[in-house]
Amino acid sequence: MAIRSLNQLAKFRRLLIDGRRRWLNRFANLAVHPTAQISLSSRMVTRTRKGIVIGEETLVAFKTLLYTRDMASGRDLPIRVGRRCFIGGGSTLLPGVTVGDESIVAAGAVVMSDVPPRSIVGGNPARVLRSDIVVGPYGRLAGADEATRRLWR
């Protein structure tokens, strides 16, 4: 049987992502909300219980790194990601960082300090690019749905 569309694999993908989330919660010392989506290629490294907390309706994209070990002090500093956030592909969150609710971390950003709620950060080191944004589930910008509809008419 040939695959006609990648959408035929959507159920399998969902099963893999749900299984990974359960494994991260149980064996990898993370606290990931059941509605959070985490890419299979993202890396999360912590030694303490609930050292990384990911909120509801948050999307962590491919090849991201969340690392709680502070090499200077030798301690594990927790990372907190709020609800309805988007963590872009290839970005890195360093020890002790808190990403506020409804925030977006741009692709490739290196976040070394806290991200305020409802803002977009990007760059190395990450800095605030825009504040007071409105996002929906998984950090999707408010006008994105209408822009997509116009593009594909």
* pLDDT average per 10 residues of sequence, the chain (153 residues): 72 88 89 92 90 94 93 92 96 96 96 96 96 91 80 77
Give pTM, 2 decimals: 0.87
Topology of the domain covering 30-135? UDP N-Acetylglucosamine Acyltransferase; domain 1 (2.160.10)
SS (H, E, C) the chain: CCCCCHHHHHHHHHHHHHHHHHHHHHHCCEEECCCCEECCCCEEECCCCCCEEECCCCEECCCCEEECEECCCCEECCEEECCCCEECCCCEECCCCEECCCCEECCCCEECCCECCCEEEECCCCEEEEECCCECHHHCECCHHHHHHHHCC
pLDDT of the residue at 13? 84
